[in-house]
Amino acid sequence: MVSKIHIDVSSEIGELEGVILHTPGSEVENMTPQNAERALYSDILNLNVARKEYSQLNGVLSKLTKTFQVADLLTDILKNEKVKETLLHKICKYEQKQFLNKHLFSLEAKELSRQLIEGVIEEKNTLTKYLSKERYSLPPLHNFFFTRDSAISMLNEVLIGRMANTVRERESLIMEAIFDYHEIFVTKTINPLNSGSFTPNTTIEGGDVLIARDDILCIGQGTRTTSQGIDFILEKLINQKNGKQHILVQELPYKPESFIHLDMVFTFLDTDKCMVYEPLILEVNRFETIHIQVDNGKVTKISNEENMVSALKNLGMDLKPVFCGGKKDLWTQEREQWHSGANFFAIGPGKVIGYERNTSTIEELNKNGFEVIKANDIIKGKIDPNNYKKYVITIEGSELPRGGGGARCMTMPIRRKPVKW
């Protein structure tokens, strides 16, 4: 009898009971300098180094909670012929590669899972294909180790991301199929594509969606999540008619690329602390913070707030900001934010994980009561994190940050315990 997991995420910091990961594979290196930009990269990652660093994240989380790998979950559902047929139809239709359907359907589940992620090499059997400079009929999913973006656990449901870049849309199709068909998960998926109000401008990615409390969402609006995408979530809250709900919207700069998601400038650390990139979140600037209030199915308020921290305080969440890059030097703040210095993932209240390289940020956390623990010390059994009330686990990050994300980006939580606020 398979032990079922009921999806339940009502905060960013509740004790973690399950998380979905994707260990970077050949898809990360299956690109050339010519197509790297199309794959949303400015350079090609060194897979050997990236996997070594990722193994620290995976190793720590495997010791502290239940972990699931995308490739394994995908393989499981592809053993069902009907599910396999349905998913391949969606993928081939969306990417206009119907000619691949027969070949893909002939593959065994594990090999098909691999090719759907790592890419399907193009067979040069026609003049058009021979002349084409493309190596892949289905391109590799270079960004899939950022599992946060394509599926978002919200209470007991899973919102399927509507990706801003078509190169990532297959990630959403795969994650939707996993939650719809895998026997272990009990949930309902919500897809913006199925909404009557959907437009081509409707995009929303998980890096922009933070669940502050079961009645408060913090959402970034920028290059990856549009106002139409936020309106889709607003529409769902209106239809629920579930008391008073709040959405706090933070406008984000379109450049530089390190500001692609809200979690690159703001994350939750504890019941009373948050990580902020001060110049954007706290200082006076042109990027608005907007409060939308819904009460029993009606929008009762849309207004500007001073900033995200003060808006949360007005709603009963009094959080002390911890500064990404420290307080001393703007240059250090900018440099560490660029390397995902604000992007922390909470394993529980006051228990977070992030990159070791952001030394000023880690030092600031330490000053605020977080014990600094190296990931390898936990993996090797030298340190038991359960002996500490508050800590930051540091993972090496010379290569992974160059992909454009941190620990929160690389994790898709599926269940957390309730928080005692």
* DSSP state string for 165-232: SGGGHHHHHHHHHHHHH-TTEE-EEE-GGGSTT--TT--B-GGGEEEEETTEEEEEESSSS-HHHHHH
What average pLDDT does the segment 122-138 reach?
81
CATH code: domain of residue 114: 3.75.10.10
Do 57 and 375 form a contact (C-beta atoms < 8 A)?
Answer: yes
Residue 16 lies in a domain: yes
Q: Which structural domain, as residue segments, surrounds residue 12?
A: 5-416
Rounded to 5 degrees, φ, ψ at 397 are -155, 65
Question: Looking at residue 31, what is its pLDDT?
Answer: 65
Higher pLDDT, 198 or 303: 303
Residue for token pair 């250090």: 332
Average model confidence (pLDDT) across the chain = 94
Residue 241 lies in a domain: yes
Question: Looking at residue 44, what is its pLDDT?
Answer: 75
Inform me whether the pLDDT recorded for 149 exceeds 90: yes
Give the pLDDT band of residue 186 (cuts 50, 70, 90): very high
What average pLDDT does the segment 198-213 reach?
96
Inform me whether the pLDDT recorded for 96 exceeds 70: yes
> What is residue 100's three-state secondary structure?
helix
Do 216 and 248 form a contact (C-beta atoms < 8 A)?
Answer: yes
Q: Would you give the DSSP letter of residue 327?
A: S
Cβ within 8 Å of residue 107, ≥6 positions away: 115
Inform me whether the pLDDT recorded for 33 exceeds 90: no
What average pLDDT does the segment 356-385 reach?
97
Residue 261 lies in a domain: yes
Inform me whether the pLDDT recorded for 34 exceeds 90: no
Residue 103 lies in a domain: yes
Above pLDDT 90, what percent of the chain?
Answer: 82
What average pLDDT does the segment 194-207 reach?
92
Among the residue ranges 40-49, 199-208, 263-272, the one predicted with the least confidence is 40-49
Angle ∠(285,288,290) on CA atoms, nearest 5: 150
Number of domains in the chain: 1
Rounded Cα distance between 390 and 350, Å, is 5
Give the pLDDT band of residue 118 (cuts 50, 70, 90): very high
Give the pLDDT band of residue 35 (cuts 50, 70, 90): low
| Tokens linked to 97 | 């590669």
Cβ within 8 Å of residue 40, ≥6 positions away: 142, 143, 165, 167, 168, 404
Higher pLDDT, 212 or 39: 212
Residue 215 lies in a domain: yes
Question: Looking at residue 32, what is its pLDDT?
Answer: 63
| Tokens linked to 302 | 């849309």
Inform me whether the pLDDT recorded for 56 exceeds 60: yes
Residue 104 lies in a domain: yes
What average pLDDT does the segment 372-376 reach?
98
What average pLDDT does the segment 132-140 reach?
85
What average pLDDT does the segment 47-72 reach?
96
Question: Looking at residue 198, what is its pLDDT?
Answer: 87
Above pLDDT 70, what percent of the chain?
Answer: 97
Residue 32 lies in a domain: yes
Residue 421 lies in a domain: no
| Helix, strand, coil share (%) of the chain residues, nearest 5 | 35, 25, 40
What average pLDDT does the segment 332-361 reach?
97
Question: Looking at residue 134, what is its pLDDT?
Answer: 79
Inform me whether the pLDDT recorded for 41 exceeds 60: no
Inform me whether the pLDDT recorded for 1 exceeds 70: no
